[in-house]
Amino acid sequence: MTSGALLKELRQTNPLVQCITNYVAMNIAANVLLAAGASPAMVSDAEEAGEFAGLAHALTVNIGTLSGPFVEGMRAAIAGAQAAGKPWVLDPVACQATGLRRRVSAELLARQPTVVRGNASEILSLAGETSRGQGVDGRDGVEVAEAAARALARQTGGVVAVTGAVDFVTDGSRAVRIGGGSPWMPLNTALGCSLTCLCGAYVGLGGDPFEATVAALSHYAVAGSHAHEGATGPGSFAPRFLDALHNLAPEALDAGAELRVLEDAA
């Protein structure tokens, strides 16, 4: 299916996405999902996270503001999602930065996420390579993480997306680069985290996770390009971006997506 067809399906289905995300991202991630056509629910407490995962179309897990209770909630939610046959997406924020993050991200990766989305520094680190990342900002270019992403996808059996100026998506055999977006995007906090949630919305439709991830990233990139027009800084970009996510027509998504297919083993 084309990304445009998936966008149309997203708006008809209005998938419920359970987001365990960090405190910085919660508001903007919910607004991104609502604008795009999905329904967010930030449910993370271990006492209800597993139960709720059975109700949702997909789960997303983000380690941005990590703590013991969050990790317990992540475990419960992933178990619930897997028991119910629902896809889940991992966002390994700054997984290279501390011992806690390295430990938790390795544990979560072993639970075989349907999709991993991170910046190049995070994907390199998850794949066991050295990154130059500081804090939560990646310092590595996407291209240096492409081989690591392929290896990681073969390891998890899922999709890996590396996002940056040009995004890269692979399932270990197929691979695509996606251009577009805006230089104001990395100056808006948690837009990467929010994109992870949008990947959850698309994979929650139940189709091919590779196509779903490409659709989510393309929707984001085309909307980012549209929002860039007329913006005069990161602040004026933000409301334009939500408008553009909402107003993007399926045909405009297919026409505007800057895709470059690298390989197709399918």
Indicate the annotated binding residues.
Answer: 42, 117, 163, 190
Question: Which one of residues 130, 247, 261, 262 is an interface residue with a copy of itself (CB under 8 A)?
Answer: 247
Percentages of the chain per state (helix, strand, coil), in multiples of 5:
50, 15, 35
Select from 83, 44, 39 the least CA-distant residue to 198: 39
206 vs 208 by CB, closer to a copy of itself: 206
Q: Is 35 in the site for a copy of itself (CB under 8 A)?
A: yes
CB of residue 193 to a copy of itself, shortest distance in Å: 11
Q: Round the CA-based radius of gyration of the chain to a whole number and report it.
A: 17
Task: Tally DSSP H helices, then E strands, for the chain.
Answer: 11, 9
Question: Which one of residues 129, 143, 208, 243 is an interface residue with a copy of itself (CB under 8 A)?
Answer: 243
The terminus-to-terminus CA distance of the chain in angstroms comes to: 14
Query: Are the C-beta atoms of 37 and 202 separated by less than 8 Å?
Result: no
25 vs 149 by CB, closer to a copy of itself: 25
Q: Is 236 in the site for a copy of itself (CB under 8 A)?
A: yes
Q: Is 99 in the site for a copy of itself (CB under 8 A)?
A: yes
Q: Phi/psi of residue 172, each to 5°? A: 100, -30
Binding site for a copy of itself (CB under 8 A): 16, 18, 22-28, 30-31, 34-35, 39-45, 47-48, 51-52, 55-56, 64-69, 94, 97-101, 134-137, 186-190, 232-236, 238-244, 246-247
